[in-house]
């Protein structure tokens, strides 16, 4: 049957209460999406949202009274009627539609990302097996693609790599499979840490080669640091990421829109020799080489 869908842009701090509010108004399901990305996650009661801006999508049965639902939502929150987007969407086999949309993708010369139900097009290539589902990043977004292509272009043998804000662990797993000697994946979201560990195990990467943890655990600076987050957190993390990068090492930043590039590069310029940004669909990858300056 068709469905009534209601969308609202909210903050991550509001997500738990908003989810409860939309469910109390009769939602069959509530899904949260990063408002500046394409990765999808379901919010569990004790989870920590990963992103600062969130798009809430609630599904209701087609015969639900949209006016009554909107009245309940606006009465119980800061949202106004103009903040709510309602639309009717056709029914479909959601699981099969989702699976058909996700196909093997190639990044650079060696690297593929493949769903578990698909045979790798090039078995001899470096293949990451990863299902999108609730994963935080599956290679489909330009920022992830930019980082994967960069990793594919590098000689990572005997290099230490840190993936800061690892999400699904896709970049950390890529680094491990491309020959890095040590990989550390860090995320402030327990759900992401769990997802990264599961994806690591699915790809046959040992916990000794790739460790996954929350921020706060100490580890040595790395030859390569990759951070695919968002511009705001990246600016706040400037001293942290600078301290984690060895002199002469590489820092790769993404999750940045083109209009945010100049300000962010200025934040990192005291610590890194910055290269011209690489742009894809208004998203940017920034590369810097660590200077000998003290943080």
Q: What is the pLDDT of residues 126-176, one digit of tens each?
A: 999 987 654 345 556 788 899 999 999 999 999 999 999 998 899 999 999
Is the domain of 194 the same as that of 72?
no
Residue 96 lies in a domain: no
Which residues are registered as beta bridge partners of 253?
227, 286
CB of 224 within 8 A of CB of 156? yes
Is the domain of 50 the same as that of 82?
yes
| 3-class DSSP assignment, residue 148 | helix
Which helix (H) or strand (E) covers residue 192, if one does?
helix 190-202
Q: Is 165 annotated as a binding residue?
A: yes
pLDDT digits (tens, 9 = 90+) for 89-135: 776 544 454 455 578 899 999 999 998 888 899 999 999 998 765 43
Is the domain of 27 the same as that of 149?
no
Is the domain of 130 the same as that of 28?
no
CATH number, domain containing residue 25: 3.30.70.260
Which residues are registered as beta bridge partners of 227?
253
Going by C-beta distance under 8 Å and a sequence separation of 6 or more, which residues neighbour residue 116? 129, 130, 131, 202
Query: Comparing 220 with 250, which gets the higher pLDDT?
Result: 250
pLDDT of residue 206: 98
pTM of this prediction?
Answer: 0.69
Taking residues 245-260, what's their average pLDDT? Answer: 95
Q: Is 65 annotated as a binding residue?
A: no
Cα-based distances in Å from 237 to 11, 38, 87: 20, 23, 39
Is the domain of 207 the same as that of 252?
yes
Domain housing 127 = 102-290
Is the domain of 38 the same as that of 70?
yes
Taking residues 49-68, what's their average pLDDT? Answer: 80
Into how many domains does the chain fold?
Answer: 2
pLDDT of residue 39: 37
CB of 50 within 8 A of CB of 190? no
In angstroms, the CA 187 to CA 169 distance is 9
Is the domain of 32 the same as that of 110?
no
Query: Comparing 111 with 216, which gets the higher pLDDT?
Result: 111
pLDDT digits (tens, 9 = 90+) for 6-17: 999 898 778 888
Among residues 28, 59, 91, the one where a domain terminates is 91
Q: Is 88 annotated as a binding residue?
A: no
Is the domain of 145 the same as that of 230?
yes
Among residues 91, 121, 153, the one where a domain terminates is 91
pLDDT at 276 over 80: yes
Is the domain of 35 the same as that of 138?
no
pLDDT of residue 116: 82
């Amino acid at each position: 049957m068709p469905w009534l869908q209601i969308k609202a842009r909210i903050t991550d701090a509001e997500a738990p209460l908003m989810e409860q509010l939309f469910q109390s108004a009769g939602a069959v399901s509530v899904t949260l999406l990063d408002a500046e990305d394409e990765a999808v996650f379901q919010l569990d009661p004790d989870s920590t949202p990963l992103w600062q801006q969130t798009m809430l999508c609630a599904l209701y049965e087609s015969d639900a009274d949209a006016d009554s639902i909107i009245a309940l939502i606006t009465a119980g929150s800061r949202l106004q009627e103009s903040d709510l987007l309602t639309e009717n969407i056709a029914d479909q086999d959601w699981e099969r539609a989702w699976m058909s949309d996700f196909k093997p993708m190639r990044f650079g010369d060696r690297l593929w990302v493949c769903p578990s139900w698909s045979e790798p097009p090039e078995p001899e290539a470096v293949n990451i097996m990863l299902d999108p589902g609730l994963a935080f990043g599956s290679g489909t977004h330009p920022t992830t693609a930019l980082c994967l292509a960069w990793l594919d272009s590098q000689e990572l043998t005997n290099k230490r790599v840190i993936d800061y804000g690892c999400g699904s662990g896709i970049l950390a797993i890529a680094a491990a499979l491309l020959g890095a000697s040590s990989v550390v994946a860090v995320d402030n979201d327990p759900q992401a840490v769990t997802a990264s560990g599961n994806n690591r195990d699915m790809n046959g990467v040992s916990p000794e080669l790739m460790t996954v943890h929350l921020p706060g655990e100490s580890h040595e600076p790395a030859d390569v640091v990759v951070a695919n987050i968002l511009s705001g957190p990246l600016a706040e993390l400037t001293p942290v990421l600078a301290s984690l990068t060895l002199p002469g090492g590489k820092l790769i930043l993404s999750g940045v829109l083109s209009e945010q590039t100049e300000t962010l590069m200025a934040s990192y310029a005291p610590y890194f020799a910055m290269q011209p940004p690489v742009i894809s669909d208004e998203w940017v990858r920034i590369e810097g080489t660590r200077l000998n300056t003290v943080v």
